[in-house]
Amino acid sequence: MKHPNKRVDATTSALAPQGKLSRNVYVVLAVVSFAAVFAVWALITNLGLVNADFMPTPQATVQSAIELFTEQHFLEDIRVSTYRVLMGFLISAVIAVPVGLLVGAYAPVNALIEPLMSFIRYLPATAFIPLFILWIGIDESEKIAVIIMGSLPQLLLMVAVDTQKVPHDLVEVSYTLGTKRSLVLWKVILPASLPYILDSLRMILGWAWTYVVVAEMVGASSGIGYMMIQSERMMVVGNIFVGLLAIGLLGLVFDCLFKLLDKLLFRWK
């Protein structure tokens, strides 16, 4: 879209608080920050400022990546980890979104569930790994359970807060227009809070990646986390770096997908 007005408004100029940046400048700055981190990395490793056993050069990392993909079926690790993350995330979402809506909208449901969830969410999901291994074993469901343990209570509480952001005025006016009390959640509160809920989902998906990697470091035989912990044992630091980069890139891709979805669905915002 071309801007009819090229001049910048004083209160939203780039350097003012809450100011705006043109899309191009934004991209340039974002690329610059990536490049800067990369440059520092390339410099300190290539100049030998750090021990190559602990931090590989970018070239060595690329070499590791090639080996991982071609000889050590790294693609399969990525697939497995992504599958676990998405399963854990989806199961969490399918439960947390509707229950979170009810918790946010109905005071008795809130009283029943909110304090309990607030308690549970402070229990570190990773601390459940030993217990889950005992209960479930070390197969897929255990990994997914860890992700659900970490994501579901958080997401539920976030959705509840999102629901409570809907102005009460909107609910009231909908009643005067004939909305039934039993339908106001569906017709007013849900559509009004949907953009916030989508944003909460985006945040939670990011956390799910943390949990999967930890879960894969204990009692696993596949996945990015498994590859990384194996590489640590064999002192192949390049592989660890490839693992980190892979997780970062996957996260970025999913984040972009969510932002795209937001643009497509919520033109009204």
Q: Concatenate the DSSP letters of all residues of 182-226 into one string.
A: GGHIIIIIHHHHHHHHHHHHHHHHHHHHHHHHHHHHSS-SSSHHH
26 in contact with another protein (CB under 8 A): no
Q: Indicate the residue among 162 and 216 with the shorter CB distance to another protein.
A: 162
Alpha carbons 266 and 28: distance in angstroms, whole number: 26
170 in contact with another protein (CB under 8 A): yes
Alpha carbons 154 and 117: distance in angstroms, whole number: 8
Alpha carbons 200 and 144: distance in angstroms, whole number: 19
Residues between 207 and 266 with contacts to another protein, criterion CB under 8 A = 266
Minimum gap (Å) between residue 41 Cβ and another protein:
43
Q: Indicate the residue among 173 and 235 with the shorter CB distance to another protein.
A: 173
Q: Which H/E stretch holds residue 104? A: helix 74-105
Minimum gap (Å) between residue 5 Cβ and another protein:
16
Minimum gap (Å) between residue 186 Cβ and another protein:
12
169 in contact with another protein (CB under 8 A): yes
Alpha carbons 46 and 57: distance in angstroms, whole number: 6
For the chain, what percentages of helix, strand and coil (3-state, to nearest 5) are there?
Answer: 80, 0, 20
Phi/psi for 205 (5° steps) reads: -60, -35
178 in contact with another protein (CB under 8 A): yes
173 in contact with another protein (CB under 8 A): yes
Q: Name which position in 2, 23, 233, 267 contacts another protein (CB under 8 A).
A: 267
Residues between 179 and 208 with contacts to another protein, criterion CB under 8 A = 179, 188, 191-192, 194
- Binding region for another protein (CB under 8 A): 167, 169-170, 172-179, 188, 191-192, 194, 266-269
